[in-house]
Amino acid sequence: MSPADTVVVTGAGKGIGTAIAHRLAADGRHVWCVDVLADRAEETARALREAGGEATGAHCDVGDPGSVTALWDRLAVAGPVSGLVNNAAVFPRGAALEIGLAEWQQVLAVNLTGAFLMCQAFARQASGSGAVVNVASGQAFRPLAGGAHYAAAKAGLVNLGRVLALEWGPLGLRVNTLVPGLVPSDQSRAAVDDAGFAAQATITPLGRLATPAEVAEGAATLLSASFVTGQVLVVDGGVLRL
């Protein structure tokens, strides 16, 4: 793998996104660590550089089309991008009857529309090859009460990946979907307590929850697997068994 290979990772400021950025940098890729919080993006990029990797921190709110355009304008100056990991997401909780239209639209804007716009921008600059990994959720297949907007957006992301794989395969572009299981992180801890984590571990065939590094391994695999596209890779210890 050439050090010139550049991958954009959204939501790289924490949790799974940070782990993916570290794994890809360790693989020899130049990682653009993108986050809605610029200081977190740069913190991740700095850690990668201190570990001997190549990384750039960048701000982008994927829920804002103008912010997405600004990011790709900057990337166009920096050089071609060979890979994209759409990991940025928001995960609010609420009963369906209590979700307001503004909240519904914001969740879809970040979790689905933002990923679509990032994919479009990536494909438009690609020149003959490249790979996208969209990070979905087990809730795309087995949703829980209290997150209708989140589950709907993640289900949409799965089928978005399948359609893009069909349309963009002739262009030399691969598009796959990564489905992590429940991973203890700042985001998940806002919605799941310790008892919830323990309960999930008990129904997992491997008997425990994944680490962010194990999910990152799945992302790296999908980026590198040159004849795999339109697929869904579940990294949840065997819970879904799709």
Residues assigned a catalytic role: 150
Helix (H, G, I), strand (E, B) or coil at 66: helix
Instruction: Return all residues near 49 (Cβ < 8 A) that are at least 6 apart.
Output: 55
In order, the DSSP letters of 182-236 are ----HHHHTT--HHHHHHHHHTSTTSSPPPHHHHHHHHHHHHH-TT--S-EEEES
Structure-token pair, residue 209: 């929850």
The dihedral formed by the CA atoms of 150, 151, 152 and 156, expressed in degrees to the nearest 10: 100
Q: Which residues contact 31 (CB under 8 A, 6 or more apart)?
A: 6, 7, 8, 9, 12, 21, 24, 25, 45, 48, 53, 54, 55, 56
Query: Assign residue 202 a region: left if phi > 0, alpha if psi is -120 to 50, beta otherwise?
Result: alpha
